[in-house]
Amino acid sequence: MELSLLALFLIAGLASLFMAWVIGAGSSGATPFAPAVGANAISTMRAALVVGVLGLAGAVTQGANVSEAVGRGLIGGVTLPVTGVITVLLIGAGLMAIGIRTGYPIATAFTVTGSVIGVGLALGGSPVWPKYLEIGTVWVLTPFVGGGIAYAIASVLPRPDVPERYSIALLAGVVAAVLANVEFGFLGPGGSAGSLATALRRFLGLETTVALAAITVFVAVTVGVVVSWDIRRDEAGGLRRVLLSLGSLVAFSAGASQVGLAVGPLLPILDDTLVTSFAVLVGGGLGILVGSWTGAPRMIKSLARDYSSLGPRRSIAALVPSFLIAQLAVLLGVPVSFNEIVVSAIIGSGAAVGGSDAISARKILVTVGAWLASFGVAFVLGYGSIVVLTTVS
């Protein structure tokens, strides 16, 4: 490999690591535990530490789908060269860094997706309309679905005719049922991807769909019974443990989803090298972990304190849809912004109980404006940068 090309590869790798750090310091590191911090269930610094470790685990075990989509699924007909990859990553990381500096959450998925498409089209690539339709549908529906589910849950939890040892236990059972069927790397035959439920079914020698359903129901009921017992004997402590468990699952899902935004653009240029996709995911996960530890506390505080005055019940209401939407995005291979997911859920849960007084209207409007601008600015910068580089060269 020529020395100049090797230097470009190293720059691309460093840009990817920087992007991973920014993601950890911003959306991935801040949003999963922001509701828990807002409910005083965990300190800001401890939340940053825990979310970093769980983000690394999620990146390694579930990060492949989104990475493939970002790296190979957004542009047809061309493969981004090393200079294009560097451009994409620097634009995405730069815009995210601005968001961290100002305290407003920039949508990571919007910036990276916009810059990849802009760079790819400038290089002569063709649009992949079916994928764009899928991504756009998820982006548009996320605030309404996530906020709506959070609103519905938060509206039920405070009611005296719905005891929390039943309502919270039911939510925990639903989350457990989904978790049992989520695919993780290395759990399938021959080290392929597979779910906990299918792995247990294979271990028991059962291969029917009925057996899979029975295992799922068993897991859901078991978790629900345990949670119900825990809340009945210690309501405050039980709610706190449920809240922290949900925050952990969302943090894990954040790593799985967001690592693709950092390492996905690298995949095409590594096809002819000895570097494996697994090694790239590990590197991206480590970058997210370091970013969470060193840069996330500022954004955690911004989300936890400024958007809504949350208690444990509304925080639980925000985290349940956040986990469900995040795992759906991972399954579909859709790059999705965790800022959008969690902020929408926080707003929905806060509005259910406190109405307009529980949320900051100005902060919401500024955030939505930042989301809308993220994609457009990243697209223009990506397209324009390649045009300038092509003209100069």
Strand partners, 75: 127
- Count of alpha carbons within 13 angstroms of residue 112, beta-carbon side: 36
What φ, ψ does residue 106 adopt, rounded to 5°? -85, 140
Q: Per the confidence metrics, is the pTM higher than 0.85?
A: yes
**CA triple 261-262-265, angle to 5 deg:** 80
The reply to whether 72 falls in a domain is yes
Residues 6+ apart with CB under 8 A from 223: 172, 173, 175, 176
Q: How many residues belong to the chain? A: 393
In angstroms, the CA 70 to CA 66 distance is 6
For residues 170-201, b (16+ Cβ closer than 10 Å) or e, as one string?
A: bbbbebbbbbbbbbbbebeeeeebbbbbbbbb
SS3 content of the chain, % helix, strand, coil (to 5): 80, 5, 15
Contact by Cβ (8 Å): 88, 265: yes
The helix (H) or strand (E) run that includes residue 184 is strand 183-184
The H-or-E segment that residue 50 falls in is: helix 44-62
Residue 110 DSSP SS3: helix
Within-domain flag for 352: yes
Considering the domain boundaries, does residue 166 fall inside one?
Answer: no
Per-residue model confidence (pLDDT) at position 360? 63
> Is there a contact between 304 and 38 (Cβ–Cβ < 8 Å)?
yes
Structure tokens at 247: 């925050």
- Pair of tokens at residue 155: 């509206």
* Alpha carbon distance 268, 124 (integer Å): 16
For the chain, the domain total comes to 1
In a domain, 55, yes or no: yes
Element (H, E) at 76: strand 75-76
Neighbours of 140 (CB within 10 A): 10
Distance, in Å, from the CA atom of 369 to the CA atom of 78, rounded to the nearest integer, reads 32
Domain membership of residue 76 as a residue range: 3-157+251-319+331-392
DSSP 358: G
**Whole-angstrom distance, CA of residue 292 vs CA of residue 76:** 34
Q: Which of 104, 71, 85 is nearest to 12 (CA)?
A: 85
The structure tokens listed for 383 are: 């397209």
Predicted local confidence at residue 344, as pLDDT: 85
Residue 324 exposed, middle or buried by CB count within 10 Å (0-12, 13-18, 19+): buried
Residue 206 lies in a domain: no
Q: Average pLDDT across each block of 10 residues of the chain; the chain has 393 residues. List them in order.
A: 68 87 74 72 82 90 91 90 89 79 74 94 94 93 92 84 89 96 85 88 86 95 96 90 91 90 87 80 91 79 60 84 93 87 82 63 73 88 92 78
Contact indicator for 68, 267 with CB cutoff of 8 Å:
yes
Reference 318, options 379, 249, 221, 261; nearest CA is 249
Q: Supply the pLDDT for residue 357.
A: 56
Residue 329 CA to residue 51 CA, distance in Å, equals: 19
Residue 213 lies in a domain: no
Domain-located, residue 381: yes
Q: Is residue 209 part of a domain?
A: no
